[in-house]
With several copies, the nearest count.
Chain A
Amino acid sequence: MSIFVDSDTRLCVSGITGREGTFHAMNNRRYGTEVVAGVTPGKEGQDVEGVPVFNTFAKAVAETGANTAMVFVPPRFAADSILEAADAGISLVVCITEGIPAHDELRVYTHLQRSGDVRLVGPNCPGILSPGKANVGIIPASFFKEGNVGVVSRSGTLTYQIGNELAQRGFGNSSIVGIGGDPVPGSSFIDVIAEFEADPQTELIVMSGEIGGSAEEEAAEYIAANVSKPVVGYIAGFTAPPGKTMGHAGAIVSGSQGTAVAKAEALEAKGVRVGRTPTQVADIAVEILGG
């Protein structure tokens, strides 16, 4: 087992004809992901190394049975592409694009929440890797192997760092999910942790957070109430410069939430052990699961 992506994944890549889109689509395919289609308006009839390109998601889904979308288009087109994928019946949209306007994210998030069963992961995320099964996104898969640790992270590169530390101790992963650090991520720590809790292959959950927002604090509450599996936390940003507070209103909204210390304490208060460095996270994993 694994979560979100596996051998049933049939991937359609939005922006497949762009340089980065082609590179990562092919990378995902080489890993074993079934890349069945691409979407680039006006380029229907072409193919990218054998993957057929369509003008619209509607047609791509109708012709290829795609069930998962990876969005790789520039920020000004990304919200539209996510909505198009959802409208066409795609059930999982993974958005890699960074720099999407915040109000776009808010509208897309709210619309998807209300109008059905579409899961969005990202935007501004590295994607999802289920080692040995499928890779959808830009996670460098060669560092990871199949195993029993589920990883969820707001940061891309930090995910690789932590995954790598675990790999060096001999741990593999059920799935690695980057949820992204944007103002309005489509999936939260809670959404992903709930899936790992339900996934029989996952025996330990690692969540990697960072300063800002309150997603880690909310996850701490959720874990205490709903999660039976051990969870190891990591928070980046203990020595980071204070973030931009958005006026006095921003300060009123966030209160004392959002610092690395507050987040680590919130997790520890709920029984989640928190590593202070990526290496410590791996050390704790060894303690819990055995070396």
Chain B
Amino acid sequence: MDLLEYQGKQLFARHGVPVPRGGYAATVEEALDVADGIGYPVVVKAQVQIGGRGKAGGIKVAQDRDEAREHCEAILGMDIRGLTVHELWLEEASDIASEYYASFVFDRSAKATLAMLSTKGGMDIEAVAEEDPTAIAKLHIDPLLGFQDFHARRLCFEAGVDADVVRGVTVLLGRLYEAYEQEEAMLVEVNPLIVTGDRQVAALDAKVTLDDNALFRHEENAEMRNVSAEDPQEVMAKERGLTYVKLDGDIGILGNGAGLVMSTLDVVAQAGGAPANFLDAGGGSKAEAITSAVEVILSDPKVKAVLFNIFGGITRCDEVARGLITAFEQIKPTVPFVVRLDGTNDKEGRALLAEANLANVHTVATMDEAASKVVEVAR
């Protein structure tokens, strides 16, 4: 789960990471109240889950109340790379002497957390990484020992942090790691991490990705989920425990297990088709899950045919068949279905389907055959 900037900053603040004073607003009037409380100049920041807000005009400094109103009115409702701004964060203007970059990210390859620090913050850090990899100091953290002060000092000295703020950056990094670990984030990123004119350090931006699997331990974080910002079909799928990603094509795909679904997309593409989605019904899918899945797939009006590719292990094919039959009863789909069932209880599943004799459902024996068939019926 990705947090908005203001959510990330609130999470940082809980762990003592210094952030500028600020407040949240969803309307212009709320925003002006917040701005008055902070005092002027004040920074008005669009809260959307996308980079490049500044360039798009989503971040503005206001010198007084009138200017603040002007900026808030301009930014609320603004479209930033396809996302509409519904929320604002206002904060005190910072006196920036230097801009650094800091992050902790869960590095799967290394099976460890990677810590990064650079004095070339405030700009596109990926570009920095490409042009001058030595400008980013990196090291991996032992998860059982944790991030130690010496790690922070090493990053600071390697990155070339100003000597007088090494202590401040060391403390900030320690707290940032605490936030990362205790909140079970997959990423915490601060760009820029600023040094102010009076040599204080603070996180001027916050990018936080939390581990969805760990949200059950963090109620406060689970509540931050911003459903409105997500694709409605993906939300629908998530609420039903399904993994769904919308694609551009017209063939709806359902499978069990991410690998098999990915493989199905590949095989359909090789057969000349264009998948409309990725939908993993998961291990042990029950009939209800299958019914829900059909609903999610068909909620995309572009879908011209649907492919069910099931190889049952923990999933039982009879459950899948039952779910499909229920879906037909409830939704009465008009597009053709191609169904391939193999694995646990496949005979029972196929028998159920044969018995139900659903209109427009083609049962096939192999995955390759299923792909050819669905491409054919989608034409």
Shortest CB distance B242–A (Å): 13
User: How does the 8 Å CB contact mask read for B226-255 relative to A, with 1 for contact and 0 for none?
Assistant: 000000000000000000010100000001
Q: Is B295 an interface residue (CB 8 A)?
A: no
Return the contact of B269 from the options A139, A210, A239 (Cβ within 8 A): A239
Find out whether the CB atom of A111 lies under 8 angstroms from the CB atom of B145.
yes
Chain A residues 244 to 281 lying within 8 A of chain B, measured CB to CB, are 244, 246-254, 257, 260, 276-279
Shortest CB distance A111–B (Å): 5
Q: Is A102 an interface residue (CB 8 A)?
A: yes
Among A74-82, A191-199, A223-231, the stretch that binds chain B is A74-82
**In the docked arrangement, what's the CA distance between A278 and B150, Å?**
42
**In the docked arrangement, what's the CA distance between A58 and B148, Å?**
14
User: How does the 8 Å CB contact mask read for A57-75 relative to B, with 1 for contact and 0 for none?
Assistant: 1110000000000000001
Among A2-10, A28-36, A155-163, the stretch that binds chain B is A155-163
Residue contacts A-B, CB under 8 angstroms, 18 given: A58-B154, A80-B149, A106-B111, A109-B111, A138-B313, A155-B259, A155-B260, A158-B259, A160-B312, A160-B343, A183-B106, A210-B258, A213-B108, A241-B278, A244-B209, A246-B105, A276-B266, A278-B267
**In the docked arrangement, what's the CA distance between A99 and B184, Å?**
14
Q: Is A200 an interface residue (CB 8 A)?
A: no
Find out whether the CB atom of A20 lies under 8 angstroms from the CB atom of B284.
yes
**In the docked arrangement, what's the CA distance between A248 and B269, Å?**
30
Find out whether the CB atom of A240 lies under 8 angstroms from the CB atom of B344.
no
Nearest B residue to A124 via CB reads B283
Q: Is A237 an interface residue (CB 8 A)?
A: yes
Interface size on A, residues (CB 8 A): 82
Find out whether the CB atom of B166 lies under 8 angstroms from the CB atom of A76.
no
Could you say which residues of chain A place their CB within 8 Å of the CB of B263? 155, 158, 161, 234, 236-237, 277-278
Shortest CB distance A77–B (Å): 8
Return the contact of A83 from the options B124, B148, B184, B191 (Cβ within 8 A): B148
Could you say which residues of chain B place their CB within 8 Å of the CB of A252? 116, 125-126, 129, 136
Nearest B residue to A55 via CB reads B157
Find out whether the CB atom of B142 lies under 8 angstroms from the CB atom of A110.
yes
Could you say which residues of chain A place their CB within 8 Å of the CB of B154? 56, 58, 84
Chain A residues 138 to 161 lying within 8 A of chain B, measured CB to CB, are 138-140, 143, 153-161
**Chain A interface (Cβ < 8 Å from any Cβ of B):** 20, 24, 41-42, 44, 55-59, 75-77, 80-81, 83-84, 87, 96, 98-104, 106-107, 109-111, 114-115, 126, 138-140, 143, 153-161, 164, 181, 183-184, 208, 210-215, 218, 234, 236-241, 244, 246-254, 257, 260, 276-279
* Size class of the contact patch on chain B: 35 or more
Return the contact of B145 from the options A107, A158, A236 (Cβ within 8 A): A107
**In the docked arrangement, what's the CA distance between A153 and B262, Å?**
14
Shortest CB distance A137–B (Å): 8
Q: Known pairs A80-B149, A247-B103; list 12 more (Cβ under 8 Å).
A: A42-B163, A102-B184, A102-B211, A107-B144, A110-B144, A140-B312, A155-B262, A212-B108, A214-B109, A236-B260, A246-B187, A246-B209
A-B CB proximity, top 8 nearest: A155-B259, A157-B257, A158-B259, A84-B150, A101-B214, A157-B260, A236-B262, A249-B105
Find out whether the CB atom of B266 lies under 8 angstroms from the CB atom of A238.
yes
Nearest B residue to A23 via CB reads B314
**In the docked arrangement, what's the CA distance between A244 and B268, Å?**
23
Shortest CB distance A45–B (Å): 10
Find out whether the CB atom of A253 lies under 8 angstroms from the CB atom of B153.
no
Could you say which residues of chain B place their CB within 8 Å of the CB of A161? 260, 263, 311, 342, 367
Chain B residues 247 to 294 lying within 8 A of chain A, measured CB to CB, are 247, 255-260, 262-263, 265-270, 275, 278, 282-284
Find out whether the CB atom of A102 lies under 8 angstroms from the CB atom of B214.
yes
Q: Is B330 an interface residue (CB 8 A)?
A: no
Nearest A residue to B127 via CB reads A248
Could you say which residues of chain B place their CB within 8 Å of the CB of A44? 157
**In the docked arrangement, what's the CA distance between A58 and B76, Å?**
50
Contact A155/B258 with A83-B148, A103-B214 known, Cβ cut-off 8 Å: yes
Could you say which residues of chain B place their CB within 8 Å of the CB of A238? 265-266, 269
Find out whether the CB atom of A251 lies under 8 angstroms from the CB atom of B126.
yes
Could you say which residues of chain A place their CB within 8 Å of the CB of B184? 101-103
Contact A157/B108 with A140-B343, A249-B103 known, Cβ cut-off 8 Å: no
Shortest CB distance A196–B (Å): 19
* Residue of B107, B111, B150 with most partner-chain A CB within 10 A: B150
Nearest A residue to B260 via CB reads A157
Find out whether the CB atom of A208 lies under 8 angstroms from the CB atom of B157.
no
Contact A277/B267 with A42-B163, A56-B154 known, Cβ cut-off 8 Å: yes
Contact A143/B143 with A42-B163, A138-B313, A251-B126 known, Cβ cut-off 8 Å: no
Find out whether the CB atom of A279 lies under 8 angstroms from the CB atom of B368.
yes
**In the docked arrangement, what's the CA distance between A209 and B297, Å?**
26
Nearest A residue to B124 via CB reads A248
Q: Is B61 an interface residue (CB 8 A)?
A: no
Shortest CB distance A124–B (Å): 9
Shortest CB distance A185–B (Å): 9
Nearest A residue to B366 via CB reads A279
Return the contact of B189 from the options A208, A236, A241, A248 (Cβ within 8 A): A248
Could you say which residues of chain A place their CB within 8 Å of the CB of B187? 246-247, 249-250
Find out whether the CB atom of A158 lies under 8 angstroms from the CB atom of B116.
no
**In the docked arrangement, what's the CA distance between A102 and B113, Å?**
11
Could you say which residues of chain B place their CB within 8 Å of the CB of A76? 216-217
Could you say which residues of chain A place their CB within 8 Å of the CB of B129? 252
